[in-house]
Amino acid sequence: MTPASRRAELAARAATVAAVPGSGDHDRPAELPVDEPRVPRTRPVRVTVELSPMEHKQLRRWCAETSADLDLPVVAGAEVFRVLLSLMREHPEVAEQVRAELARTGGSRRRH
C-alpha cells in the first residue's frame, strides 16, 4: 500500500467515524456545559504491550516457574502486570524504582 493510498484509506475511515451519531461533541445538547464531568469508565480497558522475543521468553519462563512454585495451574503475564501496577500504587519505593529505570532508559527501550 502506498503512502497516498494509506492516507486516503485513513481519511475515509475518519469520515465514516465522524458521520456516526454520538461520535462527537456536535451531538451534545446545548444545555449541557462542555466542562461537565464524564461518567467514570467501568468496563475493563485492553492494553497491548510489545515485548521483544527475549522479553516474552523471560516473562513466559517466569510465569511458568512461579505457577509451579505457588502450585497454581497458570500465572498469566497480564496478571503479572496487574500485580506490578498494584505494587507501584501501594509501595512508593517500587514506583520510584520504575521512575529511575524510565529516567535511565529515556522513557522507552523500544527502537523508534
- The model's pLDDT over 48-65, given as tens digits with 9 standing for 90+, comes to 999 999 999 999 999 999
Q: pTM to 2 decimals?
A: 0.60
Q: Has residue 85 got a pLDDT over 90?
A: yes
**CA dihedral (8, 10, 12, 18) positive or negative:** negative
pLDDT of residue 5: 80
pLDDT of residue 98: 95
- The model's pLDDT over 21-42, given as tens digits with 9 standing for 90+, comes to 655 555 555 565 677 788 888 9
Question: Would you kindly state where each structural domain of the chain is located, as residue ranges?
Answer: 53-105
Residue 31 near residue 37, CB atoms below 8 Å:
no
Q: Has residue 3 got a pLDDT over 90?
A: no
